[in-house]
Amino acid sequence: MIKVLVVDDSALVRKILTEELSRQPDIEVVGTAIDPYAARDKIVALEPDVLTLDLEMPRMDGLSFLAKLMKHFPMPVVVVSSLTPRNSENALQALRLGAVDVICKPGSAYSTQNISMQIIKAVRAAAHARFDRGTMQSVPSTGSVGSVGTSGAAGTAGAAGAAYAGLPKVGLIHTTSKIIAIGASTGGTRAIEAVLTALPADTPGIAMVQHMPPVFTATFAERLNQICRMEVREARDRERLVPGLALLAPGNYHMLVEKSGANYYVRIKQGPPVHHQRPSVDVLFHTVATSAGVNATGVLMTGMGGDGAKGMLAMKEAGSYNIVQDEATSVVFGMPKEAIRVGAESEITPLQHIPASIMKQITRGQVSAAGT
């Protein structure tokens, strides 16, 4: 049983979250708190497994409380935030301070049903999250912990097929044009930041899916652009993947990769959710398999569920080299574990070694292309 403490100054939000979570047989709301001071006492008394935390509260704001909590009594925290550009910046700061996940607050652009699904998945993921205080303290100041958004159980193959159907087949041969495809979910903001900040400015074009709602993806991309040597931005439809550019799929849109001549470019589409996700890592990876094959490097990192595993397997079968984050450094070892289970990986490695593995493979691929 997952014990949850709900912290929010809104009586209505406390009521909604309590009702939605209490409907689940594996979740128990052991208490609620109106502000961080009440939360502090109830954490000690009730010993919850997961805390849901509002950011805007009286007496002490959520970010200040989160910083104190992670220093003195670290535990899994799911932030509940309003869907606004300003609050998306606060949400990313919460992830850097140690929150595991961020979901949209009831009353935002999402329906109560969507909020219910998101909070349930986020709480379950947080309960399974690796939470090592020593690891947190070793993260550099530019790092973050957690992810925005959620991952879920596997969707249907039909939905995935509908999302990337109709792409032209290409000859899977070595070329000098390389691309990198990255997927992540819970814990992924820290993982993506750690990888991208370690890559050189002339790294081949990168297409990324991080499970996030709208607004948050733009803010996350802007944050990465400020601290990375590569240019990072939220992807636009038909934008080319070129060296030195990393494109992040916009929230609520799938991102596909297509090829025209020697150029790779992204398509931004809606379509049905896959694994209950839009954007979906599987959609991205399947299209990379079709368009790039042996000229692509796949990276699958921390996250709940199985999104990305089948797409990564398709990439491997098409000749791609695939790097999967290991269990020890994954916040949630769901997506990487599923990829390993189906045999989609070429290499399993700790988070801190992924950038070097990417560059080693890119160099190897460039040598192979030069010899063809």
**Can you tell me the distance from the alpha carbon of 254 to that of 239, in angstroms, rounded to the nearest whole number?**
14
Positive or negative: CA dihedral 282, 119, 90, 351: negative
Torsion of CA 164, 179, 268, 274, to 10 degrees: 40
Q: Any residues with CB less than 8 A from the CB of 147 and at least 6 apart, and which?
A: 95, 100, 101, 102, 184, 185, 186, 187, 188, 189, 210, 211, 212, 302, 303, 331
Q: Which of 307, 326, 330, 357 is catalytic?
A: 307
Answer yes or no: 185 catalytic: yes
Residue with tokens 């439809």: 237
Answer yes or no: 211 catalytic: yes
DSSP string, 90-153: HHHHHHHHT-SEEEEPTTSSS-HHHHHHHHHHHHHHHHT----HHHHHHS-TT---SEES---S
Query: What single letter denotes the amino acid at residue 140?
Result: P
Torsion of CA 297, 341, 101, 73, to 10 degrees: -120
Alpha-carbon distances of 355 from 7, 197, 262, 286, rounded to whole Å: 38, 9, 25, 22
Are residues 233 and 249 in contact, defined by beta-carbon separation less than 8 angstroms? no
Q: At what angle do helices 188-196 and 216-227 cross, to 10 degrees?
A: 30
Torsion of CA 246, 250, 255, 258, to 10 degrees: -50
Q: Which of 185, 280, 330, 357 is catalytic?
A: 185
**Can you tell me the distance from the alpha carbon of 329 to that of 346, in angstroms, rounded to the nearest whole number?**
18
What kind and span of H or E run contains 281?
A: helix 281-291
Q: Which of 174, 211, 254, 286 is catalytic?
A: 211
Closest CA to 132 of 212, 190, 184, 90: 190
Residues recognised as catalytic: 185, 211, 307
